[in-house]
Structure 1
Amino acid sequence: MQEASGDGQTLRISAMLQEAGKIWPLLLAVVLVLVPACLTLADQVWNTELGAHGPIVLATGLWLLSTRLKDLTARRAPAKTWVIVLGLLLVLPVYTFGRAYDFISLEMLGVYGVALLAAYRLYGWPAMRANLFPFGFLAFLIPPPGWVIDWLTVPLREFVSYVATHGLHHLGYPVANQGVSIMVAQYQLLVEDACAGMNSIVGLSAITLFYIYILHSASWRYGALLAALIIPLAVVVNIARVVTLILLTYYAGDEVAQGFLHTTTGIALFAVALLGMMGLDAGLRFVYGRFIKRKDAHGPA
């Protein structure tokens, strides 16, 4: 039995290699755009708070696809040539423009599009439609443009600074805010994008969606409920981060708060956010289980 299983696996791998050999130009295009894009990501994005989740998304996304290869192969359907040609005509100019003018968001959008076209050519739309999450999850590798971050974080930055300063003010601390500027004693702080929650929202969304897919993919309603809690949780955690930085500034000075501890608090509170999401999941499952038991107990005889 083991030999038969091994022979079957060998035949599947051989068939995949033969199929890949038929579309080697498209696969070569994927490699040619993917490698320099990943190097750019590592140099410009993955070493920042906003893009620190990138390597995790790449590794887990590729792992997810590897677990779905059998299903993708079983659902394989012929691809339409005109779709691939039209797709390349759309995504290659986007990639070229992004690469030429150093717009990493457009460059990665083009890479993502070429990779999707390669998957479409290999497996067809029915197979991809049945496995949308792994392909969609890899879209988190596309860093959001700067203007999108600014547009989204302005209200968040103002809200975070308002809640943090007014809460501490009521506790007797000499702190006040004007927009995103915070005055604490003789110091003045500025609530940046990192403290507004945008970094936590992007990274936390990616990791939480992966967590939901692995544990709760069978219940999309419950998964949607957990996903809806990501933004409120990220904002609460970042309010706690700003409060911590204000207190560090007040008691230890601006140099201490803006030095090593500034990044450390971000990492620590991101871990707290992940633990908080797992705690919410456990709590919701407990409440949901009790609700089902009560409903069954009072159901019709």
Structure 2
Amino acid sequence: MKPKKRRRAGGSVSRINLKDVAAAQPATQVLLPFESCGGVKHWVMLAIPVLLTVLYAYWPTFLWMEDAWRNEPDYSHGYLVPFLTLMLLVHRGDMFPGIRPSVSYKGISLIVLAILMRFAGRFLYMDFLDAYSLLPLIAGVVWTLLGSAALKWSLPAIGFLFFMIPLPYQAESLLSWKLQGVATSLSTVFLRVLGQPAVSEGHVIWIADQRLLVEQACSGMRIFIGVAALAYFWAVMVKRTWVDRVVLLASVIPLAVFVNAIRITVVGLLYQWVSGEQYRHGIHDWSGYLMIPTAFALLWGVKKFWENLYGPVEHLTARDFVKSTG
């Protein structure tokens, strides 16, 4: 009689097939370099019909945006946004992750979202919603053709296109109204510090018996949008931590309000010495021209100050330390 084999506690032991385990593991996404996916000619031939389709479908929207760029000073920077977007892509070219060899059908969801936004914009007479649908459309095309990794790489540049689209009228009016009030109050404080008998009533500053009206065009909206676009551009361009980028973006609102208040203060002081309407008109216009480069210079100063205050930390291993000490 053969002796029985002892069975381990807990039941029988089953064999594990390593091939089955490997197959059960989620496969990593294969990404191919740009050169191995048909070359430049292949992608140019693929991009031309896509661009022509977008131009045909969005031509009225592009005309609406161009009209705002041409006639509204707050959005005159819109002509530069597409070129700066290409510059961002070129700058981030060394971080390009690669192209997915197959089509990513999940990207169609963003294209469908863009189509729904267009329908809503048409039926609700919201031109801005039609324009904003460009962002998910471009993101969806990139996701579908190039993959999710390429989408993450291009998102900062796609987000920058937001600054070429005029804000909704309600949002623009509300923001402009708030900026007017803050600029009026801050300018009144500056004038008092400089010894002027200034009193504010709403959006009007009384300096002795002279009335200085802070109109909507002087609310600082142009500075705010321009500085915000530049801060976003710098935040993407610089190779710093996300904290540094947040600090740069957070400085936009106080910096725009400060520069606009300085402009109103200077105009109020010069109006005390200049009485001619023609000269006052020139002071008003030239102060508006100078406030944009002034705001850019201050933003650059904030950027350099923060970089010098918190420089990047260099991590050294023990071997690097020994080599550096000789």
Does TM-score exceed 0.5, indicating one fold?
yes
Match of 1:39 in 2: 63
Cα distance in 1 for partners of 2:247, 2:238 equals 14
Gaps of 5+ in 2: 1-34, 315-326
Match of 1:138 in 2: 161
What is the number of residues matched between the two proteins? Answer: 278
Give SS of 1:52's match: helix
Match of 1:29 in 2: 53
2:219 maps to amino acid: A
Q: Confirm whether residue 155 of structure 1 aligns to residue 182 of structure 2.
A: no
Cα distance in 2 for partners of 1:219, 1:115 equals 27
Give SS of 2:257's match: helix
Match of 1:287 in 2: 309
- RMSD over equivalenced CA pairs, Å: 3.1
Match of 1:263 in 2: 285
- Which of 224, 242, 247 is residue 246 of structure 2 equivalent to? 224
Of 220-229 and 88-97, the range deviating more from structure 2: 88-97
- How big is each residue's C-alpha offset from its partner over 1:178-206, in whole Å with a ceiling of 9 and x where there is no partner? 01112234443322344333221211011
Structure 1 stretches (4+) deviating beyond 6 angstroms?
none
Cα 1:91–1:249 change in 2 (3 A) is same
Cα distance in 1 for partners of 2:264, 2:273 equals 14
TM-score normalised over the length of structure 2: 0.73
Cα distance in 2 for partners of 1:253, 1:33 equals 53
- How big is each residue's C-alpha offset from its partner over 1:204-260, in whole Å with a ceiling of 9 and x where there is no partner? 0111221222223x4211111121112111111111011012123222137347624
TM-score normalised over the length of structure 1: 0.79
Cα distance in 2 for partners of 1:64, 1:110 equals 21
Aligned-residue identity in percent: 26
Query: Conserved in 1, the CA contact under 8 Å of 2:98 and 2:149?
Result: no
Q: Confirm whether residue 16 of structure 1 aligns to residue 43 of structure 2.
A: yes
Q: How does 1:120-199 map to 2 (within 5 A)?
A: 120-199=143-222
2:265 maps to amino acid: V
- 1:96 CA displacement: 3.5
Say which structure is richer in helix: 1
Give SS of 1:189's match: strand
Cα 1:36–1:71 change in 2 (3 A) is farther
1:106 maps to amino acid: L
User: Higher Cα Rg: structure 1 or 2?
Assistant: 2
Q: Confirm whether residue 110 of structure 1 aligns to residue 137 of structure 2.
A: no
Cα distance in 1 for partners of 2:93, 2:59 equals 22
- 1:37 CA displacement: 3.0
- 1:271 CA displacement: 0.6
Cα 1:172–1:43 change in 2 (3 A) is same
Cα distance in 2 for partners of 1:199, 1:126 equals 35
Of 218-227 and 168-177, the range deviating more from structure 2: 168-177
Cα 1:279–1:157 change in 2 (3 A) is same
